[in-house]
Homo-oligomer: A and B are copies of this chain.
Amino acid sequence: MKSYRKELWFQTGHRREYVNITPQVRECLRESGVKEGLCLVNAMHITASVFINDDEGGLHRDFERWLEKLAPEKPHSQYDHNGFEDNADAHMKRQVMGREVVVAVTEGDFDFGPWEQIFYGEYDGKRRKRVLVKIIGE
């Protein structure tokens, strides 16, 4: 069994932002040499997500409005978690969107449907944060 790990670093310009990280994760897979196995991709921070969905700007604006409706950032004082921090909403948004994805590796590539793309979802950005890529297989 082979195993591979790598950390990918991101710093977004906005508090909330979606970054298509499929090219970087695919480069990890190439480096790993794994042909058959599983690839775990997870946010290492608890106010961010990794998820798979569509690379379409309109949808990302819809996500922004929708998550602000489900778990509004402001007023910061509505959350017990806030005080020294102001990011309780980010902890909730990350639960809706998920911490991680597990992707099948088949014949050396991601075993994706036609529109699947891997995103880093940032809900408390403007600072350096990490995603972990762990691949096991043969």
Contact = CB atoms under 8 A, between A and B. Distances in A.
A114 B132 CA distance: 12
B44 A113 contact: yes
A40 interface: yes
Contact of A54 (B63, B91, B115): B91
A134 to B, nearest CB: 4
Contacts of A80: 57-59, 61-62
A42 B95 contact: no
B1 A53 contact: no
Number of identical protomers: 3
A53 B91 contact: yes
A54 B45 CA distance: 10
Contact of A5 (B53, B106, B136): B106
Contacts of A71: 66
A46 interface: yes
A38 B59 CA distance: 32
Interface of A: 1, 3, 5, 36-38, 40, 42-46, 51-54, 56-59, 61-63, 66, 70-71, 79-83, 88, 91-92, 94-104, 106, 111-116, 130, 132, 134, 136-138
